[in-house]
Structure 1
Amino acid sequence: MNIHSVMNGGEMMNVTANKRDNILKAALILFAERGYDGTTVPMIADTAEVGAGTIYRYFANKETLVNVLFQECVKRFAETVRQGYPDSGSIREQFGHVFRGMVRFAKEHIHELYFIDTHSNARYLDGESRETFRHLMDFLHSYAATGKEQGIIKDLPSDALIAIVFGAFTKIYTLIRAGKLQETPELLAEIEESCWDAVRKV
């Protein structure tokens, strides 16, 4: 084996990785904007600029692809909101940390935010995808339960509390992306406070 063959091998690995990444990026945009049922493998192939047969070299079918993508997106979201989480902080401080993590995620991964929002209860999610999502929800449920135990968070079902905040947040970023709202630090601070007001006990 010479250096030329090693370099060629490295280049082939890069091409392979790039093709897989391009397929995932194309699928993400299409699933987020058109939904699972409105997206076909040929559409993904056209957007990724690969042959349809190439997709099947990396993913057995569209269902496999959507599950791989869902797991990657949820893990990235969970890592973003949990990084540096103030375990010893107040309920309000912890809320602010999670909210600001959501803002960072939306700024960097807006299609992933929409994708998670629209696919989290989908019929085609497999066991691993549901387990990955459950880990994220367990973290949020634990936060809500602690807040309720301390008498700081409203005594509503945790899923309802999460939906109030995440649903409003996602809709707001839809309006920002559409140009109907201008994203500013002041706006985000006011939205954070409004979301907090919606779930805290008065």
Structure 2
Amino acid sequence: MRIAQKPPSEPAGRRAAGKLAGPVDSRNPGLARWGPASRQKYAVAPRAPSRLVHVSRKDGASPAAGLDSRPMTQADLTRQRLVRAALELFTAQGYHDTTTPQISKKAGVAEGTIYRHFHSKQHLLNELYRGAARWAGKLVRDADTLQVGPREKLAELGRGLVAGAARESAVARLFLLQRYSELLDEESRKTARDFRLGLESLVAQGKADGSVKPGAAEVWAAVWLSVVTLAVDRVSAKEWPETHAGVALALDAAWDAIKTDSRIAG
């Protein structure tokens, strides 16, 4: 899995040299290579690839899976700056304490510019949230394709979430640690629900083979995720490196919390 870096800080009108980074959301920096089919922009990397989380356009168009080799326009670059600024401010000081003038100032654009790309601050939040949720959902799908047992699939998912927290901490915190339920629109709720259902499916596989305790998969999935988010929190806050021993302990503890008691099973 590859995580986003900040967009190039080159002067306006000047494209950064390098290869196309791959599927991006021109508004939401984060984690890429997911998304429904339609039109899609791709970021231009400075020297190394820079991948960004995809968010839909203001006119409703959604990302496509194919390669679009067209260079980013000045409008695309402005949108990227707005998205990065909002993501950092929302996760650092909270949605309600962040104003659109603050976002515009951090992005280095005029105050009214934000409304050329987003209907409102809440619209911007939902675009960011959906991009982060799709990243997490892709990790679930990738883990489920592995030809291993439920325990190994969940462990791979946990490692992917922690890796994302290390490389793009704001994206991981936005989706896994912060609560915006009253601000989310139906599309955002559905995207988050897809992630939860995918996780519950992995847990249900463990129930089916007897490796997970009896009981609702929804409950055990929530228990597993709550333990894993301990590591996500510490890593995204830069308190732990991704390789910290506490990460492995947390992932093991997440499995231990839902696994069948071997003494009973035996």
Structures share a fold, TM > 0.5? yes
Q: Corresponding residue for 1:146?
A: 205
Q: Corresponding residue for 1:47?
A: 106
Match of 1:72 among 123, 131, 137: 131
Q: Corresponding residue for 1:104?
A: 163
Work out the percentage of aligned pairs sharing the same amino acid: 29
What is the alpha-carbon distance in structure 1 between the residues aligned to residue 192 and residue 76 of structure 2? 25
Q: Corresponding residue for 1:20?
A: 79
RMSD: 2.6
What is the alpha-carbon distance in structure 2 between the residues aligned to residue 82 and residue 27 of structure 1? 28
Aligned residue for 1:59, secondary structure, equals coil
> Does 77-86 or 41-50 show the bigger shift?
77-86
Task: Note the residue ranges of structure 1 that are not aligned, 5 or more in a row.
Answer: 1-7
Q: Corresponding residue for 1:133?
A: 192
> Deviation of residue 24 (structure 1)?
0.9
What is the alpha-carbon distance in structure 1 between the residues aligned to residue 176 and residue 100 of structure 2? 22
Correspondence list, 1:1-202, <5 A: 13-83=72-142, 85-119=144-178, 122-178=181-237, 180-181=239-240, 183-184=242-243, 186-202=245-261
Task: Note the residue ranges of structure 2 that are not aligned, 5 or more in a row.
Answer: 1-12, 17-70, 262-266
> Does 170-179 or 34-43 show the bigger shift?
170-179
Which one has the bigger helix percentage? 1
Aligned residue for 1:198, secondary structure, equals helix
What is the alpha-carbon distance in structure 2 between the residues aligned to residue 117 and residue 149 of structure 1? 27
Q: Corresponding residue for 1:3?
A: none
Amino acid at match of 1:36: Y
> Deviation of residue 152 (structure 1)?
1.4
Q: Deviations over 1:39-74 (max 9, x none)?
A: 111111122111120000000111111111111111
**For residues 149 and 167 of structure 1, do their structure 2 counterparts lie closer, same or farther at Cα, with a shift above 3 Å needed?**
same
> Deviation of residue 167 (structure 1)?
2.6
> Does 10-19 or 160-169 show the bigger shift?
10-19
What is the alpha-carbon distance in structure 2 between the residues aligned to residue 174 and residue 17 of structure 1? 31
> Deviation of residue 150 (structure 1)?
2.4
What is the alpha-carbon distance in structure 2 between the residues aligned to residue 116 and residue 179 of structure 1? 17
TM-score, scaled relative to structure 1:
0.83
Which one has the bigger strand percentage? 2
Amino acid at match of 2:156: H
Contact 1:114/1:170 (8 A) holds in 2: no
